[in-house]
Amino acid sequence: MTQPQILDQDIRALQEWLRAAWQQLADPSLTAFGRRELRNQMKQCNADLRAHLKRAAELQPRQSAQTEHGFAKPEMRILAWR
């Protein structure tokens, strides 16, 4: 596997973990201490996810020339019929 694929896999795993943690946080049987610990873990996971997303953005090739022209006004001609 290449580095971008591994990074993508890690990002998806962190997102899935956060999704499950939010569901677990809604559980009424969770104690106050358990909630606090889960929120602390969620904060750390969120920081890791942001770092992974930043690294993934840095690995993407620079496509500034393509994106500049991507939203440019298209060239159009008006044809008149006589």
Residue range 37-74, pLDDT digits in tens: 999 999 999 999 999 999 998 888 754 444 555 677 76
Task: Give me the helices (H) in 26-75, please.
Answer: 32-59, 64-70
Instruction: Tell me if 1 is assigned to some domain.
Output: no
Q: Do the domain assignments include residue 38?
A: yes
User: Domain residues for 48?
Assistant: 15-59
Asked whether residue 53 is assigned to any structural domain, the reply reads: yes
Q: Report if residue 48 sits inside a domain.
A: yes
Judge contact between 11 and 53, C-beta under 8 A.
Answer: yes
In a domain, 31, yes or no: yes
> Can you read off the two tokens belonging to residue 64?
């500034």
Asked whether residue 9 is domain-assigned, the answer is no
**Total tally of structural domains belonging to the chain:** 1
pTM of this prediction?
0.68
